[in-house]
Amino acid sequence: MDPALEKLIRLHDLEKMEEEISSEEYMKIISKLRQEEDEEELKKMRDEALEAIRREKEKIIKELNKINPTYYNRYRMFKNAYGHGIAQVVEGICLNCFSRVPTSFITQHGKLLRCPNCGIFLYVPKGKKTEGERL
């Protein structure tokens, strides 16, 4: 897998985790599941998890900038514009703008691509059936 793609996917996943853990809904669910622990202890555990996520994100951003400094800036630009910085190609469709991508994209598992319509970073997940291809 392309190292930049791997880092962008990891960054995307960490940001999703960070958003989820930061939500009040998450704290309500965790409080219900772990009734024996007090709220302060749960908040402390959440803060530690968020700090670990932030450290990992910083590490990934540094590594990504070593590969190509423009990748992270573009990722942020797409995240601000679309709510996410990378999207999947499924059955020949960009899951950001829902336009059909060139057929040459659908066999490029593990490569960092860009949507010709919206410009977002794209990837074709390995193991998913794509149009014109059999598993």
**According to the model, what pLDDT value does residue 132 have?**
47
Per-residue pLDDT, averaged over 62-89, amounts to 95
Q: What is the pTM of this model?
A: 0.83
DSSP string computed for 13-81: HHHHHHHHHHSHHHHHHHHHHTTTS-HHHHHHHHHHHHHHHHHHHHHHHHHHHHH-HHHHHHHHHHHHH
**According to the model, what pLDDT value does residue 134 have?**
41
Average pLDDT value over all residues in the chain: 89
Tell me the pLDDT tens digit for each residue of 10-44.
Answer: 999 999 999 999 998 888 888 888 776 787 888 89
**According to the model, what pLDDT value does residue 135 have?**
33
**Predicted confidence (pLDDT) at residue 133 exceeds the cutoff of 70:** no
**Predicted confidence (pLDDT) at residue 130 exceeds the cutoff of 50:** no
Residue 56 sits at φ, ψ, to 5 deg, of -65, -40
